[in-house]
Amino acid sequence: MYLFKIAIISLLLLPLTGCETLPKRDPDFSPVQAVDLRPPQQTNGAIYQSGYDMRLFEDHTARRVGDILTVKLNEDTKAKKKADLDATKSTSTSVTAPNIMGMDPSMIFGSDLSATLASEHDFEGEGEANQSNSLTGDISVTVVAVFPNGNLRIRGEKRVTLNDGSEYIRLSGIVRPVDIDASNTISSAKVADATIMYTGDGSVADSSKMGWFARFFLSPVFPF
């Protein structure tokens, strides 16, 4: 019985021990594979080997697969949207009973069989949304591909683990070598097809999220 209790307690504590490990990196933002960074193997005893040359008279900006590039995050977006809707619909239908064998229906049934149907619908809605986002900072990414026209595909992830959670900054996109300055940095505004993600997890991030039951009343599924 004692061993059975220990086994039950161990099973209950097993998920808690898994929470201490760092989550795996997102493969869409993982660095370039190591095989692309492997230098060519030496095949002779010459002094100069391909891939080991020192470029003394050119800049050291990123231009090859595996090079590191620093992106300055200067994102500042503002959006405002307002919508008003007022719809009114009125319908009126009148039906007169036909004569029965040439006689007025009131003479047979004692009352007029005509009917009138009327309906009126009125809908008024108003919505307004204001959103403002700002993200500043630096993140170093890796060149993962070089296109035939010379443009570079970059991607990278920056993770900062704190006491009560972790912060993630993920970035990917395409840059032009001419937009990279002498300090090997580029502004995020010049990153084409950019994907910038800033998320977090832990107790602080969980406390700022709305529960699923509350989100149901704010979703379009809620009929009222």
Alpha helices in 19-157 (DSSP H): 34-37, 105-109
Task: Please indicate, yes or no, whether the overall pTM of this predicted structure exceeds 0.85.
Answer: no
What is the reported pLDDT for 18? Answer: 46
Mean pLDDT by 10 residues, the chain (224 residues): 58 52 63 57 62 64 89 88 84 73 64 73 81 87 92 90 80 94 92 88 65 68 64
What is the reported pLDDT for 105? Answer: 63
Strands (E), the chain: 68-95, 115-146, 152-162, 165-175, 185-187, 192-202
Domain residue spans of the chain: 27-31+59-80+130-208, 81-128
Q: Within a 10 A sphere around the Cβ of 174, how many other Cβ atoms? A: 14
Where on the phi/psi map is residue 205: left (φ > 0), alpha (ψ -120 to 50), or beta? Answer: alpha
DSSP assignments along 41-58, one per residue: PP-S--SS-TT----SSS
Structure tokens belonging to residue 105: 């229906």
Structure tokens belonging to residue 184: 């090997």
